[in-house]
Amino acid sequence: MAAPIERGSRGTVDLGRSVARKKVVRLVETTLVMVGCPHLGRAVRVTSVKLHKLNRTDPGNSLKARSHDNTKEDGSDKINSPWSCFVCGTEESPWICLSCGLIHCGRYSNGDGMRHYESNDDHALTMDCFSYSVFCYKCDDYVAGDTIDRKIYNMRNTLQYHNSSRLSNKYMDEEAEDEDTERYDLGNEVKRYKYDEEEIGSVLEYPPSGGKQIRTRKRKLSPSHVQSKSLDSDERYAKGLRNLGNTCFMNAVLQALNSLETFREFMVMLPSLEYDDISKSTPSPLTPRYKTRRYAQCASEQAAEDTTMLAEELRKILIALSPNGSPSSCVSPDALFQAVWGLNDRFVGYNQQDCHEFLRYTLDQLHADLRRCRIPDDCAWRVASECAAEYSPTSSAVSLIFEGALQSQVTCMSCKMTSNKQDPFLDLSLDVHIPPSSNARSMIVSLTECIRRFFEKEQLEHCEEYMCGSCKERKPSTKQLFLRCLPKILCLHLKRFRWSHTSRGKVDNMVDFPICGLDLSQYVSPNSRMRANGCIYDLTSIVVHHGSGMGGGHYTSYCLRDGRWTHYNDSTVKVADTKTVLKQKPYILFYTRSR
C-alpha cells in the first residue's frame, strides 16, 4: 500500500456510518489500517499551549510573542482566523505541530509545515486542525496510536470542541466574567508553560472531566469567521466538499462535473429519481418454495443493490452545491460515498483511488441508472437539443452529453482497400510522449501534440496484420483513427501513470493546454456531418494530481463558472486566475463545444 500524502482538507472520517451489505463492513475493517509510528513518544510534547496563543508563538522551551511583522499597528493580530499559518498567514490546510504547538500550512498549500520539520528534525508529528488526523513526516504516512498519557487524544478532543463551539453558531467566547475561575490547558494535563491571564485572555477550551466550565460573555463573529476570506462577497456561492478520508479523488471529480453547465442543469431540474420496475430488462428470479438462509442473504443483498441509486445521490449533491442549495459553505458527500461503497467494492475503504477510474465508473453507473428511471420528456428533449444529438430510448443524458464516436480505418498497403469500424467513447486517453533525453523531466509537452499523436496513422505490427477481403490473406496494413461524432463535453485523460519495469511511476512534465479555441476539425472523418457543425472547444475544468504516485498524492480541481476560475481543494475554495490555471499539470481536462 502506497503511503498516503498529507491532505489539505477540513473533512472528518465518519467511522460509524452504516453500510447496507455486510461484506462492505468487513472490507472497511480491513482497510482502515494505519502505521504504528515509532516517533510518538519523542515527537509529541505539546501539553498546555493555549488555543488563543497558538498563532503567536515560537518553538522552544518557552513560548514567545509573535514578532511585530505579524501584528497590526493597533496591536491586534494580523490574522483573524483561529487556524492560520504562523509563517505565511494562510488559512488553507492548517496543521498543528505536536512538538511546539505552532500552526503551519500543509505541503499542498505553501509547504511551511514541511519546512518547519526540516529545520526541526524532532518536530515530526503534526495534526490536521479540522480532520484531526495525525501525520508523521519521518514515516511519510498517517499514523495511529497515542502516547501513554494520551496527549493526542486530549489534543484531538480540544480541537474538536473548539471547532464545534466556533462554527455551530455565530457567537464565540470573548472573556471570562470570573477571573478566579480555574484556567484549563490544551491537553488537560500538567502545565508546562505559564501565562499571565491579562496577556492571554480566557479561551473556551475542552474542560477536564469533573471540571467547571468557564462562564463567558458572547459577541457576534465578524463576517470573516462566518465565511472564508478566500472568496469575495459576490462569489460566496462556491461551496467545497468535505473530505471523508482520502476522498479527494471523488471531490475533485464532483466539482468538475458540477462546473459543466449542461450536465448540472439537467441533473438539478430532475425530480426525485426512482427505479422504474417496468424498464428492468431481466426478470426477477423465481422465489423458492422454502426460504432458506442462503436465499434470505441473497435477497437482502439484491434489495440493497436495487434500492441504492448513485444518480439520485449525485442529483442531491449537485443541488446542495448550487447557490440555492445547502446554506452551509461546505457539503458532505456521505450518502453518495456510501452509495458507491454499496455498488462497487473497488472503492470501499479510505485508500486513495484513481480519479479517472472513479469518473468512468460514475458515468457508466449514472448512464445505467438514468435508463432505468422515468425521465420527464421536457428534460430529455432539452438536453438532446442543447447537445445537437438525437434522443432515443437507449440513450441517456450521459450518452447525449459525453459520448462521441471514433472511426477506426484500416488500409491494406497492397491493394489500398479500407475497412471502417465505429466505436463510442466517453473520454480520450492520451499518451504524454517524452523522448529520452538528459532533460526529459523538464521537457514541456503540448496537448495539441498529444492529440495529434493519438490520431496519426500507424503501421500495424506483424501479429496485427489485417485480413484483406480483396487480397484474401493477411497483408501489411495501416490504422488511423478519426472523429466520427463529437460530444458536447470532451473529456481528455492524460496517461501520467505508467509501469516501468517492476514499479509504477508518474510522468510529471508540464503539458501546455489551450484555454479557448481547441480545434479538432482536422481529425474529423472526411464523410462526417460534424465538419459542418462545431469542432471548437473551450476549457471548462481540469483535475490535477499533486504528488508522485497514484496510490498517494492529492487531487484538486480548477473550474470555470460565470467567467471566473475557482480552485476547489476539498472544503477549501479559492478564487483563481487564468495564469494560475495555465501553470497547473492537469490529469483530466473537460472541454465544452462552443462553436
71-104 burial code (b ≥16 CB/10 A, e <16): eeeeeebebebbbbbbbebbbbbbbbbbbbbbbb
Residue 37 has a pLDDT of: 78
The stretch 205-225 carries a mean pLDDT of 37
Do 351 and 327 share a structural domain?
Answer: yes
Do 299 and 162 share a structural domain?
Answer: no
- How many domains, the chain? 2
Express each pLDDT in 567-595 by its tens digit. Answer: 999 999 999 999 999 999 999 999 999 87
Share of the chain above pLDDT 90, in %: 29
Do 93 and 67 share a structural domain?
Answer: yes
Do 243 and 314 share a structural domain?
Answer: yes
Do 179 and 151 share a structural domain?
Answer: yes
Residue 130 has a pLDDT of: 75
C-alpha cell at 98: 505536536
Do 317 and 246 share a structural domain?
Answer: yes
Which of 314, 344, 377 is the last residue in one of the domains? 377
For residue 411, being part of any structural domain is answered with no
From CA 422, how far away is CA 418, in angstroms rounded? 13
CATH of the domain at 102: 3.30.40.10
For residue 356, being part of any structural domain is answered with yes
pTM of the predicted structure, to 2 decimals? 0.62
C-alpha cell at 306: 436495487
Express each pLDDT in 77-104 by its tens digit. Answer: 333 456 789 898 888 788 899 888 899 9
Quick one: pLDDT band at residue 306, thresholds 50, 70, 90?
Answer: low
Q: Which has more pLDDT, 450 or 238?
A: 450
HSE-up of 296 (CA within 13 Å, CB side)?
A: 4
What's the distance, Cα to Cα, between the start and end of the chain in Å? Answer: 46
DSSP string, 344-408: -GGG-SSS---HHHHHHHHHHHHHHHHHTB---HHHHHHHHHHTT----TT--HHHHHH-EEEEE
CATH of the domain at 258: 3.90.70.10
**199, pLDDT greater than 50:** no
Residues belonging to the active site? 248, 554
95: left (phi over 0), alpha (psi -120 to 50) or beta: beta
Do 274 and 207 share a structural domain?
Answer: no
Which of 340, 359, 377 is the last residue in one of the domains? 377
Beta strand residue intervals within 79-140, DSSP E: 94-97, 103-105, 125-128, 134-136
Do 164 and 248 share a structural domain?
Answer: no
Do 176 and 252 share a structural domain?
Answer: no
The stretch 13-37 carries a mean pLDDT of 38
CA distances from 66 to 75, 102, 201 (A): 11, 11, 16
Do 313 and 343 share a structural domain?
Answer: yes
**127, pLDDT greater than 70:** yes
Do 113 and 259 share a structural domain?
Answer: no
For residue 107, being part of any structural domain is answered with yes
Residue 434 has a pLDDT of: 86
Count of H helices and E strands in the chain? 16, 28
* AA identity, residue 3: A
Q: Which has more pLDDT, 476 or 144?
A: 476
* AA identity, residue 191: K
For residue 279, being part of any structural domain is answered with yes
For residue 367, being part of any structural domain is answered with yes
3-state secondary structure of 9: coil
**18, pLDDT greater than 70:** no
Q: Residue 275 belongs to what domain range? A: 237-377
Do 218 and 250 share a structural domain?
Answer: no
Q: Which has more pLDDT, 528 or 268?
A: 268
Which of 329, 362, 377 is the last residue in one of the domains? 377
256-272 burial code (b ≥16 CB/10 A, e <16): bbbbbebbbbbbeebee
For residue 371, being part of any structural domain is answered with yes
Q: Which has more pLDDT, 9 or 124?
A: 124
**32, pLDDT greater than 70:** no
For residue 202, being part of any structural domain is answered with yes
Residue 428 has a pLDDT of: 95
For residue 148, being part of any structural domain is answered with yes
Q: What average pLDDT is seen over the chain?
A: 73
Is the CB of residue 573 less than 8 Å from the CB of residue 231? Answer: yes
**259, pLDDT greater than 80:** yes
